[in-house]
Amino acid sequence: MASRIELISPYGGSLIDLLPSGGEYEELKAHASTLPSIQIDDRRLNDLEMLAMGGFSPLDRFMGEEDYLRVLEEMRLANGMLLPLPVTLPVNDESRLHLDQEIALHSPKNELLAVMTVDEIYSWDLEEAAQKAFGTSDLRHPLVSEMHRWGRLNISGRLQVIDLPRHYDFSDLRLSPVQTRKRLKEMGHSNVVAFQTRNPLHRVHEELTKRAIERIDGTLLLHPVVGMTKPGDVDYFTRVRTYRALASRYYEPDRILLALLPLAMRLAGPREALLHALIRRNYGANHLIVGRDHASPGLDSEGKPFYGPYDAQELVERFSEELGVTPVPFLNMVFLPDEGRYVEASEVPEGAKTATISGTQVREQYLNRGRELPVWFTRSEVAEILKETYPPRHKQGFCVWFTGLSGAGKSTTAEVLTMLLLEAGRQVTVLDGDVVRTHLSRGLGFSKEDRDINIRRIGFVASEIVRHGGVAICAAVSPYRATRNDVRNMVGDEHYIEVFVDTPLEVCEARDTKGMYAKARRGEIKDFTGIDDPYEAPDHAELVINTQNTTPEDNAHLIVEYLLGQGFVRSGE
């Protein structure tokens, strides 16, 4: 059931079965460069790749209105074929678009991907889409909240794909549906059970997938999602390394095929499970492991699950004949420490001791604290990989962000703190506003716009330092709350410590170490923070320090105490 999309590319890597017509490719590319163009986002990039490879077959384009409305209503395309979730291309700027026009689609990195002949432009209703596709308008649903940022019009039309997004990573594992089916066929088992995942695999997953292989006497298609998943998930580089280690060492080679799926998840629970089943049918599987809370978006704003725990299994079951995919329940496996083996929860002998470790515990109790994960829980190869990605807290990066008026004592306190942290064995970079303004932000003034640029630059550098496990100590007036919040988001809330140096204006002015307040009062400096430009004090700073009754040394020690409590610094070294 290959897609009807036209693929024209002389190379395109291992992904697609190409129509190798070099001249045609060059021609279309040249033609595309004369067309109006739009840049698609990461979600649409994943969708386009899936459409182009035939992963969403029978769908071969972003949906037109008739398809879209029937999908919302009945999970079917206008022609009656099953398709449980919308796949659309929303746009913002409709003024440049009109019907029967060709437009070039570019990736977020501005690579030319495809030409679309626009034959529909239609508006869509956010509330209706949220309610019908996801069953909720709650903004805690990641897709509902994302949809608020989408353009208000959808466009649709025939696609001529020129190039698929390039993947330079794990290229041997990126298999199209056609390639996957071919490989599965060569493996010689007519039954194939797919396992969909967005998490690292532990022993329990190994046990249940092995049982599924046995049960159907077939092949396991280990099919992790490497497109957009749930925000906060373990990055796919780390995950794929764990899958690869497991697949190559712990399964019969002719019983497992590992392939990566560039799907952008919708986290739509049951409807998404159905989509997963349809996709896997395109990839050659006739069974799919569907678990409790499959494709779950987490909890809603009242702390309740969005979907019932078994809704997904039931929905796939209901359509299994039409789809040709049978759901295999995700067995709830538990470990019996006294016997050293896994059994299904329903087979646990009366009174037997059982052991489990939750995902949160893996992070908080083990990785953050540098404790080894037990071998009954995860293979040592997997534990090693996770340890590299999630070093213990005292090796993770963090940012201490000082904010306060000029002369409040930010630089002075930062200097003491720097020494204490170096003494504790951490690597520290200081980004002091006054200093940054002589290099990174040279030439910027003190208009609101320039100050924001300055703070964002410092924030960007800090976030890179933190990502690589270093300590960034930043000391800038940073007078605007919204900008400080942006920095917090850039760095990541868990690794950002805002310290409000709460020195009253009169005190700063009396200190006037740089003579600037006097100048500002005389009107020689304009827009001076605290005099004729606002300072918005933080509402929720992690720490507030006082510089009138407390010395810089004592304040720096207070901050170190806080960092010790957070585990960012180890005591007694």
Q: Which of 9, 229, 286, 406 binds ligand ADP (CB under 6 A)?
A: 406
Shortest reach from residue 546's CB to ligand ADP, in Å: 8
**How many residues belong to the site for ligand ADP (CB under 6 A)?**
34
3-class SS of residue 494: helix
Q: Report if residue 488 touches ligand ADP, rule: CB under 6 A.
A: no
Asked if 538 interacts with ligand ADP (CB under 6 A), we say no
Minimum Å gap between C-beta 467 and ligand ADP is 23
- The identity of residue 229, as a single letter, is T
Give min distance, CB of 531 to ligand ADP, in A: 8
Pairing of strands 543-545, 192-197: unpaired
User: Structure tokens of 222?
Assistant: 């280990």
Q: Does 483 bind ligand ADP (CB under 6 A)?
A: no
Contact by Cβ (8 Å): 325, 286 = yes
- How big is the chain, counted in residues? 573
Tokens of 433: 């506003």
CB nearer ligand ADP, residue 143 or residue 499: 499
Selected from 410, 484, 488, 495, the binder of ligand ADP by CB under 6 A is 410
Distances (CA, A) of 389 to 52, 239, 245, 416, 429: 33, 10, 15, 31, 22
- If the CB atoms of residues 455 and 558 are measured against ligand ADP, the closer one turns out to be 455
407 binds ligand ADP (CB under 6 A): yes
245-271 in b/e form (b: 16+ CB < 10 A) is bbbeeebeeebbbbbbbbbbbbbbbbb
* Segment lying near ligand ADP (by CB under 6 A), choices 324-332, 369-377, 410-418, 561-569: 410-418
Nearest to 414 by CA among 461, 489, 472: 472
**CB-wise, 54 or 404, nearer to ligand ADP?**
404
Selected binder of ligand ADP within 236, 390, 528, 568 (CB under 6 A): 528
CB of 75 to ligand ADP, least distance (A): 52
Which one, 86 or 404, has the nearer CB to ligand ADP?
404
How far is C-alpha 532 from the geometric centre of its chain's CA atoms?
Answer: 42
Let me know if 478 is a catalytic residue: yes
Which residue of 218, 270, 409, 459 would you call a contact of ligand ADP, by CB under 6 A? 409
- Which residue has the closest beta carbon to ligand ADP? 433
Query: How far apart are CB 430 and ligand ADP at their closest, in Å?
Result: 11
- Contact region with ligand ADP (CB under 6 A), list: 130-138, 140-148, 377-385, 471-479: 471-479
Smallest distance from ligand ADP to CB 484, Å = 9
How many CA within 13 A on the CB side of residue 357? 20
Alpha helices of 374-515 — where are they, by DSSP H? 380-389, 410-423, 433-436, 448-467, 481-491, 505-511
Q: In what order do the strands lie in the sheet with 219-224?
A: 256-258, 219-224, 192-197, 287-290, 326-329
Binders in 441-470 for ligand ADP, by CB under 6 A: 446, 451, 454-455
DSSP-assigned letters across all residues of 504-522 = -HHHHHHH-TTSHHHHHHT
Q: Residue 283 and residue 2: Cα distance in Å, rounded?
A: 10
Answer for the pair 501, 552: CB distance below 8 angstroms, yes or no: no
Complex with ligand ADP: residue 13 or 552, whichever CB lies closer: 552
Active site residues: 478
Where does this chain bind ligand ADP (CB under 6 A)? 404, 406-413, 433-434, 437, 446, 451, 454-455, 475-479, 501, 511, 513-514, 516, 525, 527-529, 547, 550-552
